[in-house]
Amino acid sequence: FFGGKVSDLNITLKFLQKYSPPIPPLGFNHNLAYIPPSILSFVLVNLVSFKTGSSSSRKLPLMENDKQEVTKIKAEFDEEGVYFYQAFKPSIADFAVANQRFGGDDFNPSRMTWIKPSFAWVLYRSGYATKSDQERILKIKISHEAVSAILAACVCPEGGATHPPTPIAASSTRSSCGRSRGVVQWDPARDITRFDPKNTKVPRRLLRERAIQIGVQGGLSEFYVGSALSIEDVTELAREVGAAHGQKRERDCEDAMRAISNLPIEREYEALLQVEHKLRLGLVPGEAADRIAQIGRGRVK
């Protein structure tokens, strides 16, 4: 093909296997792959550099998108909606669970509040439901449309936004988001399965994963509050995890965690957002995604 070494050929084949889409079965060897002209041209040009030594790294360069890390929202969700977690004082939690809506004398629907789809993160923030006014953990489900409306009305500090995004009102939601903006914050994720070796009182910190937190206030907070489809008290589960993470030995912690059968299953969630909103929040390759990828690995420039 190009008269190079076997090792050079292996690199080429691995590259083609990664970037070449398979073709439908046509009655011949299915290991064959169709190579689009753009990719073929890219490979041949770089093979020349690789073979002649003109490339300083002597490695086949990656394509543009392969260099960028993209943050992913991880959450528990079903066909109806997405689950978020919040920590409250007992009086607010009691009212919300009993009435399946937020309210009561101690609750302010427009105050600044943070919602998190990561159970591990709310445990970290609330100290496993032990901190003052955070003794109860609630699991709130809101519709997919409401999640998208809230995210579309948010800015992200790492995204460089200097003004509120245009608010949108989803016709299938119960109310408009108003003109209030929210804030999306990405932090190093937390591992629900084990404690942090540097601090056994918190879930383990994951430097290479990000967890999203969404801050809402004013009209946007009221919209979130009015979008609750169900409210469940998961305080006991939070304390079970806290007890497991409180074990002195990692093996004992693992055994205790295996005994907990009702942990949430959080997986990658794709919000129904326009590309411009995804770019701003770092959900697709771009400047915001690059800056978010630096979180936990040193100062973000």
pLDDT tens readout for residues 198-254: 877 789 888 788 899 999 999 999 999 999 999 999 999 999 999 999 998 889 999
What SS3 class is residue 221? helix
Q: What is the pLDDT of residues 7-65, one digit of tens each?
A: 555 555 555 555 555 544 444 344 444 455 544 544 454 444 444 444 433 433 434 44
Q: Both tokens of residue 71?
A: 């943050």
Q: Could you give the angle at which helices 37-52 and 6-19 cross, rounded to 10 degrees?
A: 150
Would residue 282 be called left, alpha or beta, if left means φ above 0 and alpha means ψ between -120 and 50 degrees? left
C-alpha–C-alpha distance, residues 52 and 19, integer Å: 24
- CA 133 vs. chain centroid, Å, equals 27
Q: Exposed (0-12), middle (13-18) or buried (19+): which is 226, by Cβ within 10 Å?
A: middle
Query: Which residues have C-beta within 8 Å of that of residue 130, sequence separation ≥ 6?
Result: 242
In sequence order, what E strands does 234-296 have?
267-269
Q: What is the pLDDT of residues 150-190, one digit of tens each?
A: 999 999 887 555 444 544 443 333 334 445 579 999 988 99
Tabulate helix, strand, coil % of the chain (nearest 5). Answer: 35, 25, 40
pTM summary value = 0.72
The neighbouring-strand residues paired with 150 are none
What SS3 class is residue 271? coil
C-alpha–C-alpha distance, residues 160 and 153, integer Å: 15
Continuous segment of H or E residues that includes residue 143: strand 136-143
Q: Are strands 136-143 and 267-269 parallel, antiparallel or unpaired?
A: unpaired
